[in-house]
Structure 1
Amino acid sequence: MARLRSIVPGGMALAALAASEHTPMEPSYQAASDNAFHVFNAIHSAGRQWGSSVIHNGFSLYPAAVPRGTVLYHGGRQAEPPSEPEWLAFEIEHAENFGRSWRERPRPPPMHRPDGVDNAEGPQKPLMPPHEGHPEPGHPGPPRRQVGYLHTYVATRDLNMLYIDGMSAGKTDLGTLDSQDLLLRGKSTTDNGFMDERERANDLCDIVTAWGYDGLVRDEIGFEVIQCDFDNGLEQVSSLQTFYEEDRLSEHGLSTFQWARAAGQRYDGIGGNRLNIDFSSMVSGFFFPINISSTTDERPDLIRLAAASELDLKDIKDYLQDISTQPRRFTVHWQGVVDMIVARYADRFALMGSENTSVTQFISELESLTLAYVDASGIKNNDGGHDHEAQNETEAAMNRCSDHYLLPVLIDQEHWSIEDDLIYTSLQAVMDDICYILYTMRSTFYTYLREDERFQGQINLDGDKGALEDAFEVSRPLLQSLMQTLAWTTWIRPKVCAPDQTLFVAMWPIGAPRDHWHPGCRTVEELGRFNRSYWDDRP
């Protein structure tokens, strides 16, 4: 399959020597290829709590839609709908924490502002000004009564949103706010402090509503919406006063656990078809030839939009504005493509890269991932393929491997946007690297066998054990290095089962009675025999 060639001029860096006008920087296929692994992970983590929390410095912005009929929640100090930009939560527990009621002065919260002043509202300062009986944080005043409300809203139409990836609702100096403060707002994050959500929300709404959006979607401990106008596209279903903390039987501290649990249920996605991301309109800093290095020596892993120049960020913003004002596309669901790739390779690579894996397990997984793309008739000598004909077949197999999970999207290639082309370039580069390493490891085993003087042309696992072990010692570090480069967030997520096990329930035609009544983790040995004893009385 022919590889795509660039149809967009390579992104032009700041023309410092330009005589008069600045030439706007454009997306670059070279940048999309150079940043391929970042693009892959950004797509995989978009709209998902786990990946957004791990890769918390976002670089990408996506037009998105909250579908008509979606239920959203707001916690605040007033029963009426807000008259200015305010936040909405996708989860009840998220909103409840901002609509608490109490009679006495609140107990000190677990979090503190960067300046050391207690933030009496918890992790996120509500997007509303202080009012009588609710003074500024840092000036607690006398004990006071505070009444809170939990609002429920339903979207009366599709709400047009700009989704900012990463943990973009995190008020930190780690880079979580770069895409909002530096790229969109064009001002330093620290101009008025990280917690200045009121000014941030007003600025962002002024920008995105002019582009046709109703608001923005961000992530902290749960996904949230900054809704710019509550009178447009929302209907208030209820506004219920919450119970005073002193009147509740339960300990308030449990609400933190409940909030975290609710957010954790969205590790793999917001769910319920509540946020549709237009991946075909993705605009990412990874598509542009900009500096994305860390700005902190202590954290070289924290790549930052802050490393790019102001002019480069303005060019990206201008490009985003152009994309935002065009019709939505939703041409290719690129996250589905990425999910298929991760599902195919993640668990297999985890086992192959484990320090506890055996040579037999490693070879079994390697052949499972490579032989599916090899035409055995093209390798007549069966020794690994180092004559001309066999080498050609190995290259063909490598190309089949690289292209396989991208085949479904090609049917609509004539309708692709430039952004689709850029994403394809990134994913193709990732697959090229994966498949190159796989077939390099496969060739390594045959090379070591052929160089072993005891090798007789036919593989003997017992007799060739030494050569296979030597090849294994060379191949596994290659796989481990690839895994470090891929940096898939799924590998740092605790697993139910060990790498050499799989979670199994009886599925016809296999499974013992215990697999039905007590499903659990099963090893390769336990599943290595065709056991259908649950399904009938035959052994």
Structure 2
Amino acid sequence: MDKLIQKYFFFFTLFVLASTYSLDNSTAPYIFNDLYSLLVQWPNTFHPNGHTIIPGILEPYTLLYHARKDTEIPPPSPEWLAFDPEMSYAVMATKLPGPTYMYTYRTTKSAKVLYFNGMSAAWGEGWLDTQYTVLTGQGKTNGSRNNEVSLWDDYGRAKGLCQWSEQRGFDGIVRMNAGFEIIWCNFNSPSLRLVSSLNITPPGTPEARRSFPFPLDADFGQSSSDELPLHSFRPPGRGPGRGRRPGDGGRGPWGYNTAPLARTGFLEWMRAATRYHSTIQPHLSLSYHQMVSFYYPRYQSLYSSRSGKLMQEHLLWEHITDEDVRTFLDELDSVVSTDLPGTEFDWQAAAMDVVAFWADRIGQTQHLLDGVNSTLNLTDVVRTVQQLSYSSLNPFIAYGDALNASGHDIVFNFRSSPSLSPGTIAPETTALERCTYSATEFLAEPELQILMTSQEYILKMSIETILERLCTDFGTLFAESTDLTDSDSYPTFISSWNSRIDTLVRWLEWPAWLRCEEICDLDSICTMPAWPITWGGGPFGGRPGPGRSNVDFLKPTCRRLTM
């Protein structure tokens, strides 16, 4: 059969796939959110408990920064590199006495990295769970103390992750807290070149009287005053992450006076952390066809722990069975050990396109329906709902072929064949079907079917599940608002629409709706809480504290960038 004709049998192939490739789509919203959020700051703060690992490439000639309190070059491996100099500066020059040195590096060629999503560089309940599964190969019941996992031992984590990663050809591990960082496994690697080493100690910095490792190493916690058990999340007597507070007289977190020029270090780090709050961290390319996630439907031991909970509350390590951990690690090992090219489709871009197209319209519709009261003209409300739902669906509605069709029929029943070039054949489909498969129809082409990895099938399922729900809900709003003729029934339908949209928003949990309610002054930035800079109640808790919900706690606010 001619390839041009094959191309347009996409719906037939999709429907065959739907019947033969059975996938549980109950976790589709979670998979979609993880896909959409990869390497984006605010979504990974809003959903801090990462469940996904994905290989990627760090671009050649990327500048990276490493601050230290000594002049050891190269530093012992592994060590940390930041994408933003403000991050490295604040960690060392702002926090600790004694001289500070800034080492600037540049990659000389592409470097293979492994990315852990969520707030995987922060220390708190749930944030480190995926790393613990890699390090221990077990669930929490069997994998905590027996494998010397410690909340504080970030160097130990780095060594363990690098040992696993280097055996599989990776140069480093990418993680996020208030910004993105890389655990670089070998500073003698030819992939990294030192550009400069500078003594950047701010004037007025006090001399060091005692040295504290940062991040805290395996020796921290040996004394009773420093020890923090794994299950406890109260801040210790001394600890990193607590920058200068108003009224502290300029004293740093260790009880030393902070140099005047260093006092805005954490504010500048916060500024840097907001640069990519809704865009992808540059200089990194991810291999979407190799994405593995504990949200994949096969991990049955996690289902009950998510029931009725937001993604912010999805804890992994304490619920997963050893068998599911082994299955996950086998899959991860398989994808990083093979060289399958996949389809080369940019799955994250497709997810972002969906959010960009739908999020504002959903938000506007919800705002309209939430604000309905007795003073509003309900006819105007119905008309606006019709317009908003139509604007979402009009690329897929063949109104010109059925001018007298009802709203319900034109969305759900009327079948139309797309106008294609002469000599081609395309199946007749409904507007709902065209909308549902708008992002993925091309993947039915035989040459792409051959290339698709099992991970891509799951990503495809998640996008189609999201679109089916969106298209169905807005199709219902359009059909009902178009066909509604009895004004006495307006209140009943408006209440039903309001409930439908509220349920949709809760199901989606999109971070795209995060915003500051006020307009920030020019000396301020709109930011979410950022660990360890502005995490309320201390940086080590990972939870908002008594009387506050996670959703309220994680709302962005304006924060001043002056002392």
Quote the residue 1:176 is aligned against: 127
Q: Compared with structure 1, are the counterparts of its residues 390 and 52 closer, same or farther at alpha carbon in structure 2 (3 Å cutoff)?
A: closer
| One-letter identity of the residue aligned with 1:161 | V
Asked whether the equivalents of residues 102 and 200 of structure 2 are also in contact (C-alpha less than 8 Å), the reply is yes
Among residues 322, 341, 346, which one is paired with 1:333 in the alignment? 346
Among residues 311, 324, 328, which one is paired with 1:316 in the alignment? 328
Q: Compared with structure 1, are the counterparts of its residues 400 and 295 closer, same or farther at alpha carbon in structure 2 (3 Å cutoff)?
A: closer
| One-letter identity of the residue aligned with 1:304 | L
Give 1:284 deviation, angstroms: 1.0
Q: Compared with structure 1, are the counterparts of its residues 410 and 256 closer, same or farther at alpha carbon in structure 2 (3 Å cutoff)?
A: farther
Quote the residue 1:162 is aligned against: 114
| One-letter identity of the residue aligned with 2:392 | L
Q: Compared with structure 1, are the counterparts of its residues 362 and 274 closer, same or farther at alpha carbon in structure 2 (3 Å cutoff)?
A: same
Quote the residue 1:363 is aligned against: 386
SS of 2:262's partner is coil
Q: Residues 391-430 of structure 1: matches in 2 within 5 Å?
A: 392=415, 396-407=430-441, 412-430=448-466
Quote the residue 1:303 is aligned against: 314
Among residues 24, 27, 36, which one is paired with 1:44 in the alignment? 36
1:488 partnered with 2:510: yes
Distance 2:336 2:19 in 1: 19
What is the count of residue pairs matched by the alignment?
A: 421
1:237 partnered with 2:195: yes
Q: Residues 267-278 of structure 1: matches in 2 within 5 Å?
A: 267-271=277-281, 273-278=282-287
Give 1:414 deviation, angstroms: 3.8
SS of 1:291's partner is helix
Give 1:339 deviation, angstroms: 1.0
Distance 2:55 2:41 in 1: 18
Q: Compared with structure 1, are the counterparts of its residues 369 and 30 closer, same or farther at alpha carbon in structure 2 (3 Å cutoff)?
A: same
Asked whether the equivalents of residues 104 and 194 of structure 2 are also in contact (C-alpha less than 8 Å), the reply is yes
**Greater relative contact order (CA < 8 Å, ≥ 6 in sequence):** 2
| One-letter identity of the residue aligned with 1:279 | Y
Distance 2:16 2:263 in 1: 56
| One-letter identity of the residue aligned with 1:356 | G
Asked whether the equivalents of residues 436 and 468 of structure 2 are also in contact (C-alpha less than 8 Å), the reply is yes
Give 1:283 deviation, angstroms: 0.9
SS of 2:295's partner is helix
Among residues 343, 355, 359, which one is paired with 1:342 in the alignment? 355
SS of 2:32's partner is helix
Q: Compared with structure 1, are the counterparts of its residues 476 and 379 closer, same or farther at alpha carbon in structure 2 (3 Å cutoff)?
A: farther
Give 1:379 deviation, angstroms: 3.6
Give 1:205 deviation, angstroms: 0.7
Give 1:360 deviation, angstroms: 3.3
Q: Deviations over 1:426-459 (max 9, x none)?
A: 111111111111112222234542xx3xxxxxxx
| One-letter identity of the residue aligned with 1:278 | S
Tell me the TM-score normalised to structure 1 length: 0.71
Among residues 34, 53, 56, which one is paired with 2:45 in the alignment? 53
Tell me the TM-score normalised to structure 2 length: 0.68
Q: Compared with structure 1, are the counterparts of its residues 308 and 193 closer, same or farther at alpha carbon in structure 2 (3 Å cutoff)?
A: same
Q: Compared with structure 1, are the counterparts of its residues 292 and 253 closer, same or farther at alpha carbon in structure 2 (3 Å cutoff)?
A: farther
1:374 partnered with 2:397: yes
Asked whether the equivalents of residues 183 and 316 of structure 1 are also in contact (C-alpha less than 8 Å), the reply is no
Percent identity between the aligned chains? 23
| One-letter identity of the residue aligned with 2:508 | L
Q: Deviations over 1:53-104 (max 9, x none)?
A: 1111111110011111111111112321213101110100111123328xxx
Asked whether the equivalents of residues 378 and 389 of structure 1 are also in contact (C-alpha less than 8 Å), the reply is no
Distance 1:437 1:298 in 2: 21
1:438 partnered with 2:474: yes
Q: Compared with structure 1, are the counterparts of its residues 146 and 242 closer, same or farther at alpha carbon in structure 2 (3 Å cutoff)?
A: same
Quote the residue 1:282 is aligned against: 291
| One-letter identity of the residue aligned with 2:363 | A
Among residues 255, 262, 273, which one is paired with 2:265 in the alignment? 255
Distance 2:33 2:383 in 1: 31
Asked whether the equivalents of residues 168 and 218 of structure 1 are also in contact (C-alpha less than 8 Å), the reply is yes
Q: Point out where structure 2 has 5 or more consecutive residues left out of the alignment.
A: 1-10, 206-257, 373-380, 417-427, 520-563
Give 1:266 deviation, angstroms: 1.6
| One-letter identity of the residue aligned with 2:453 | S
Q: Point out where structure 1 has 5 or more consecutive residues left out of the alignment.
A: 11-28, 102-119, 122-144, 453-464, 498-539
Quote the residue 1:383 is aligned against: 406
Asked whether the equivalents of residues 278 and 328 of structure 1 are also in contact (C-alpha less than 8 Å), the reply is no
Q: Which has the larger radius of gyration?
A: 1
1:264 partnered with 2:270: no
Give 1:326 deviation, angstroms: 1.6
Quote the residue 1:204 is aligned against: 161
